Amino acid sequence: MASNSPSFLCDHENVDYSKGVKNLVDSVPQLKKVPSEFVLPLDAADAAGSSEIPTIDLAGLNGSAECKVTTVKAIGDACAEWGFFRIKNHGIDEKVGSEMLEVIEEFFGLCLEEKMKYYSEDVLSPIRYGTSLNTPLAHKLHWRDYLRHYGHPFTDTIVQLWPNNPSHYRNVAKAYLEEIWKLAMKIGGAVSESIGLDEGYFERSLGEGVQILSCNYYPPCPEPNKTLGLAAHSDHGGLTILMQNGVEGLQIKHDDTWLSVHHVPSAFVVNVGDYLEILSNGKYKSIEHRASVNQHKTRMSVAVGHGPEMSSTIGPASPLANEARYRSIVYKDYVKLQQRITTRGKSALEILKC
Ligand code: OGA
Ligand code: NI
């Protein structure tokens, strides 16, 4: 708990930052400045680029053979050139998404004691409430609270760890995560085909597969240009599917320029994570991204990552591994390595390059 975490014991008007940014802004309603512990050494508002990530119409995967080929190619091009794309006609009912956002808002609105039941400093804990980065190590703080837990394979043991307050949380989250898992496997099928592997390759490579839900809560921030909700990082899984509450904030690094990814209602944003960069032997790039915060509005996002079983060894797909560009590693060790780096970026992946 907080007492084991000296980096967090930097009270502002007696507020313990380890208990969350929402707790800070609720406890100090007159807060006019970002406390120095959150000030990050960059101009957070500096997202200069104006290009747009590609949008893929996923209905193409259910169309004629020709239409499918075109869509698979579009997904492959988006993964290679951008590492990020938007999807429309993804088949997920709006209500499933909006109920998920509502129940998350209710969760973060609970009293602190209720949320702190899930507080953990173990980066591999199957459920965690926390704030800032995922790591308990000393670092500059980030303007974010989060709830993270495993989803698929949805065993009773996993689901029983999820919050039961709000009382409908488990049902809503399960409905959402089941749909997102199927969607991720569908996209994974297209991704596999686009690199010349068979359609089932990505899904099979996951084994039982690990789905990790990150619910991000970014309260309004008095000086949004001084800090970030999340600093530049890449995701450790294969494919992340992101839903947002309509408040802008996602930025990606494309051709060395930070670009804002604008919110498009009912579309999801998909991105390539480190596991897919490794599996594709570097053809597809896991892209650095970050989240800025808003002065007036609470931003929420739901990021769901899809990676292999924690105990599996990851490396380039065997048909592509003639000239392997990444060393193999046990996925769990990779996750621990990545979460230990407090400045993130893509430095964990660099360590694996041959
Ligand atoms: C993440 C993430 C971006 C966002 O949770 O890994 O990158 O827009 N979130 O909140
Ligand atoms: Ni991310």
Q: Beta strands 145-150 and 55-57: pairing type? A: unpaired
Reported as a pLDDT band with limits 50, 70 and 90, residue 343 is low
Report pTM: 0.93
Residue 173 maps to a domain: yes
What's the average model confidence in pLDDT over 145-153? 96
Residue 30 maps to a domain: no
Sorted by sequence, the CB contacts under 8 Å of residue 252 that are 6+ apart come out as: 53, 82, 83, 84, 258, 259, 261, 271, 287, 288, 289
Contact 339 CB / ligand 1 (< 6 Å): no
Q: Which of 236, 240, 241, 302 to mutate to test the pocket of ligand 1 (most atoms within 8 A of CB)?
A: 240
Residue 233 maps to a domain: yes
Query: Does 168 have pLDDT greater than 80?
Result: yes
Q: What percent of the chain has pLDDT over 70?
A: 92
Counting ligands in written order, which one lies closest to the CA of residue 292? 1
Return the residue matching tokens 């990779």.
334
Give the total number of structural domains in the chain.
Answer: 1
Tell me which of 36-40, 76-80, 105-109 is least confident: 36-40
State residue 37's pLDDT score.
87
Residue 16 maps to a domain: no
- Backbone dihedral angles phi then psi of residue 21, each to the nearest 5 degrees: -75, -30
Share the mean pLDDT of the chain: 90
Model pLDDT for residues 250-271, shown as the tens digit of each residue: 999 998 889 999 999 999 999 9
Residue 124 maps to a domain: yes
Which CATH number covers residue 164?
2.60.120.330
Residue 36 maps to a domain: no
| Dihedral of alpha carbons 179, 180, 183, 189, sign | negative
State residue 10's pLDDT score.
46
Query: Does 346 have pLDDT greater than 60?
Result: yes
Domain of residue 153, residue span: 54-352
Q: Given the CA of residue 269, which atom of ligand 1 is nearest to it?
A: 8
- 307 with 275: CB under 8 angstroms? yes
Reported as a pLDDT band with limits 50, 70 and 90, residue 342 is low
Count CB-CB contacts under 10 A for residue 38. Answer: 22
SS3 224: coil
Cα–Cα distance for residue pair 224/219, rounded to 1 Å: 10
Residue 44 maps to a domain: no
Q: Tell me which of 286 and 140 has the higher pLDDT.
A: 286
Report the separation in Å between the CA atom of 287 and the middle of ligand 2, taken as the mean of its atom positions: 9
Contact 216 CB / ligand 1 (< 6 Å): yes
Per-residue buried b or exposed e for 275-293, using 16+ beta carbons within 10 Å of the residue's own CB? bbbbbbbbbbbbbbbbbbb
Structure tokens at 201: 């390759």
Query: Does 153 have pLDDT greater than 80?
Result: yes
Model pLDDT for residues 295-330, shown as the tens digit of each residue: 999 999 999 999 999 999 999 998 887 899 999 999
* DSSP type of residue 36: G
Residue 6 maps to a domain: no
Q: What is the DSSP string of 301-312?
A: EEEEEEE--TTS
Report the separation in Å between the CA atom of 187 and the middle of ligand 1, taken as the mean of its atom positions: 19
Model pLDDT for residues 92-126, shown as the tens digit of each residue: 999 999 999 999 999 999 999 999 999 988 878 89
